[in-house]
Structure 1
Amino acid sequence: MTYIAYSTQFDAALFSLYAFYVAFIILIMYLRNEDRREGFPLVHEQNGDLVIINPRSAPKPKVWNLAHGGPTVAGREERDLTGLLTPTARVPGAPRLPLGNPLADGVGPAAYALRADVPDLTFDASLPKIVPLRAAPEYSIAHEDIDPRGWYMITADKRVVGTVKDLWVDRSDVILRYIEIAVPGANARNVVFPIGLANFDAGRREAHTSALLADQFLAAPALKNPDQITLLEEDKVSAYFAGGYMYATPNRQEPAL
């Protein structure tokens, strides 16, 4: 009797190739299903009509159990930008230009997401994560570093808009996140913006930012609570100041060459 090894009854290489094909098709189907969680229904760029998709292809709602705030469904509300942008050409994917004040409207580089309008919390103590140093006396500026509180704040047009009132610390990462400016005058207010967009001159005791002009700086988004910042406010503040690098002056929107 002649014995034949079982492995000779089929082509192992061909079997592996077919298995890869099947696994890859399943992966593509899964990813195409998952990517419909945000950005749908689709809206036609030219006429604004909704693009209808097969309801069966929509994924089932996915629920996340958050450390703070209980369960939430995946996906978020999208901003309505109707009337804020206009396409440069009537072709799909054409760049869009702002119609009004792009910084105030929150479009382009100044765009923000509709995050939860509640403060981010620390994991263990459930305290507001980002607060001014006056609200977190357990934190202080290292004596080897500069302390800019009391220094003048100067904008891109070389104007003094106020003085540094306080610095905001991230309790979880133990790092300074924001700088708070006290603006004097009839419309006195406090302005908070990312500390990474500020430069400090210890010799002159001045803080500088090239992101915005003075008038734009004074119109920055305000906080509901002077001693804490919500997730939505974080996005709005960061987007407003970062957007200034393109929208603060007309020449910033032009090509460098």
Structure 2
Amino acid sequence: MHRPVDLARRHGLSAQAVRNYERDGVIPAARRTASGYRVYTDLHVGALSAYLPLVQGYGYRTAGVVMRAVDRDDLESAFAAVDAAHVQLQRDRETLATVASAATVLAGAPPAPPGDRPLPVGAVAHRLAVTPATLRKWERAGILVPVRDRHTHHRVYSPDDVRDAELAHLLRRGGYRLDHIAAVLDQVRNAGGAEPLAASLAGWQDRLTARGRAMLTGSARLADYLELREDVRRPARGG
């Protein structure tokens, strides 16, 4: 039997944090003594040993969904949440691969036109030899984010918007899908340009690798917890 403080010390937590986890349903409810004190078992130790690594690999939301599903014996929902997180990790890897393969294209993209004067959609379409309808399609896909002129309400493209349109055009000619191009341009905007983005690729890869490894650890601890739950129940079933 364990007290809240015992679980807390074992995992570097406060006793209140352990009680909060019980309240949130990510570890099983504790038995209470006649005087109202919580009493935890090895099952609670196993639950906490699974939940904390799951948080590191999958985040609080998914870890909570998994542990609450396990507690109500809904393993299908628990595994579905784990699977969905791995699908998202694979999508993130595909996006990184797209950005990495496009890095050379981005570095060789032509510069935006000089000056700060925004251009109308027709001028940008002419510069790229595409139709205005194509630019609007790219906008709907999240590739371009032009603003509206406050007087005419027509789309206008800043030098950065024109740069994004040039990059999108190059990537489109390279066979990239619109959703991949949108992801690339989003990364370019967040990084502050193509060169900072290229410099950040190694860090991005490291973060994905760390997340994948943390997921493996969380999954292993979850498997240990599921086995513990089966061991705890086995004598009762045999009786």
Q: State TM-score, norm by structure 1.
A: 0.22
Q: Answer 1 or 2: higher relative contact order, Cα 8 Å, separation at least 6.
A: 2
Q: Please identify which structure carries the higher strand content.
A: 1
Q: Please identify which structure carries the higher helix content.
A: 2
Q: State TM-score, norm by structure 2.
A: 0.23
